[in-house]
Amino acid sequence: MAAMPAPPAAHDQPAGTTRRDDSMSLLRNLVEDSLDEGYARAASRREDGAPRSRTTVWVLTGGLLLVGLLLTTAFVQTRERAGSAQEARDALVAEIEDRADANDRAQRQLDRLRAAVQRDQRNALELTGTGAALSDRLIRLEGVTGAAPVVGPGMTVRLEEAADDGGADVDPRTDQTDDGRVTDRDLQTVVNEVWAAGAEAVAVNGQRLTALSAIRSAGDAVLVDFRPLNPPYVVEAVGDPDTLRTSFVGGFGGSYLQVLQGYGITYAVEDADRLELPASAGVSLRYAASTAPSGGPTDERDDKK
């Protein structure tokens, strides 16, 4: 043992034989000298008869106090940090919900005010003979453009996403398996085919579509006029009750739905006797000025859609 050259920490290995793991002395040291050498030295000192002072018990007490303090401090800190992160998250979620509620309230107020304006406008126009004609025209135009709610017979197309897909807990940035999802493109195609089948007014999940509407996506959410929709998606269309459904199902729309069904998306196309479609959230022209003889540029100042 004494003959062994380098590392000072020698082990119960007969001198002369080389260990197979000699080349890994660093690792071996790590694993085998796990106990602090000081303990062995102190033990051998004690055997030599060196006196043990009585104060050491206080040293040990202080040391253990430090150990306990350090470990609990780390524990408490970690817990606190996790707690504050959770709190911040909850606060943010609550704020989002508050803002969404406030948004909805403001939207409802806007709808109410807009309806009141339309009513007053109509009343004012009907005071004169030419005004009455204009009012009729206005009502017709508002129905066509989506500025006013409409009622009428038609059909509904209901798209339901596949039940077994990842759902909301899948990270939208990495989720590639969106097979069972209804995408913005699917909705665009269905809506286009509904228009092509002869619909006169279309709404998706209660969002009226106008000439300015866009169906887009942000992450996994489908947006109509920048408002996110939740599945299932219901396309309501007002049109000729005799031909609307047959020409939609018989045309490309029907075969497209068949294709979607292959991805697990279920659909239902039904006739409806009476559909009430709301007015669009915002019909306003910012740059285009109307050149119709009856009026100049609209002075409606709506929120940006």
Binding site for other proteins (CB under 8 A): 30-32, 34-36, 38-43, 46, 56-77, 80
Nearer to other proteins, 62 or 219 (CB): 62
Nearer to other proteins, 78 or 290 (CB): 78
- For residues 134 and 182, give the distance between their C-alpha atoms in angstroms, rounded to a whole number: 42
- For residues 221 and 267, give the distance between their C-alpha atoms in angstroms, rounded to a whole number: 19
* Minimum gap (Å) between residue 71 Cβ and other proteins: 6
Neighbours of 267 (CB within 10 A): 19
* Minimum gap (Å) between residue 172 Cβ and other proteins: 30
Nearer to other proteins, 23 or 53 (CB): 53
Residues 6+ apart with CB under 8 A from 257: 157, 159, 190, 249, 267, 269
Nearer to other proteins, 30 or 117 (CB): 30
Residues 6+ apart with CB under 8 A from 259: none
* Minimum gap (Å) between residue 37 Cβ and other proteins: 9
Residue 20, sorted as left (phi over 0), alpha (psi -120 to 50) or beta, turns out to be alpha
Three-state DSSP state, 270: strand
* Minimum gap (Å) between residue 51 Cβ and other proteins: 13
* Minimum gap (Å) between residue 34 Cβ and other proteins: 4
Nearer to other proteins, 62 or 206 (CB): 62
Task: Determine contact, residues 156/269, Cβ cutoff 8 Å.
Answer: yes
